[in-house]
Chains A and B, each alone.
Chain A
Amino acid sequence: MDTLIFLLILSMILAMLKGRQRLAWYLFVASFLATALLFSHHATDALGISL
């Protein structure tokens, strides 16, 4: 999961460099949401209420 998020961020920066603005936005939203969800998982896992 963590590796995939890093790959999403890497793809986003490469899309920016290539001028693919819309794709870069999609990849930013995807990596941001994935990071937030992973944080949510780690924050709630110990409590047994993780998604």
Chain B
Amino acid sequence: MRRFRSVLAQFCIVAVCGVLLGAFAMQFIGAELPCPLCILQRMGMMLCAAGPAWLLCRAMQGEVDARDYAQCYGLSILSALLGGSVALRQVCLHIAPGDPGFGEPVFGLHLYTWAFIVFITVVLVSGVQLCLLPSRAERLPIGWTARASVGLLILVVAANAVAVFFEEGFHLYLVDNPTQYQLLEDLNPAPDATKSPDAP
């Protein structure tokens, strides 16, 4: 059972990172810039993955008990509720008949709908983990896969931070429908933008 709990925690991190990498692929390969709500959903997913990552980090430093499990998966459930609220709002924004939705659908569903499914799954998996709490402190088996999954999460968060910085630039908020990387636009403004409106 100890191994199952460890594998489930690693699976949660890798699954969430896989979804985030898929969104990254849509951004760079599909050339679809994420909207502010998409970015908020990414933040929610990272906070969800931080719960099992924290459990693994605690297990790397010694024994973990029921309190550690409860704190880490409680953190995931709270984050899933926040991220799920954002995804549900975006679903509701495009729920009217005839609305094409935001971005291209993947396997028939838009990314925000998939995000909502991911958040519901996080709540379910966290609930399962909380049902399987150990009765006493235990040492989880931590191998290279556990370290690699935490490392993957760090890489995904760092890559998103850089990508969002390019998209947002030095502005306080993202625009509602981004069409370009604002930082590149600010550093290299288009020739038309530098002209005065009064110029001939």
Interface residues of chain A, those whose CB is within 8 Å of chain B, are 1-3, 5-7, 9-10, 12-14, 16-17, 19, 24, 28, 31-32, 35-36, 38-39, 41-43
Closest residue of chain A to B61, judged by CB? A19
* Contact assessment for A35 and B50 in the assembled complex, using a CB-CB cutoff below 8 Å: no
Question: How would you classify the secondary structure of chain B's contact residues: helix, strand, loop or mixed?
Answer: helix
CA distance A31 to B172 in the complex (A): 16
CB within 8 Å for A35 and B164 given contacts A9-B43, A9-B157, A13-B157: no
Contacts of B54 in A (CB 8 A): 16, 24
User: From residue B14, how far is it (CB to closest CB) to chain A in Å?
Assistant: 15
Give bound CA distance, A45 to B135, whole Å: 48
B 20-59 binary contact with A (CB < 8 Å = 1; else 0): 0000000000000000110110011011001001100110
CA distance A5 to B105 in the complex (A): 27
Given A13-B53, A24-B54, A39-B40, are A3 and B161 also a contact pair (CB < 8 Å)? yes
CA distance A43 to B82 in the complex (A): 13
> What is the CB-to-nearest-CB distance from B158 to chain A, in angstroms, rounded to a whole number?
6
Q: How far is the CB of A14 from chain B (nearest CB, A)?
A: 7
Across the interface, which residues of B come within 8 angstroms of A6, CB to CB?
43, 46, 157, 160-161, 164
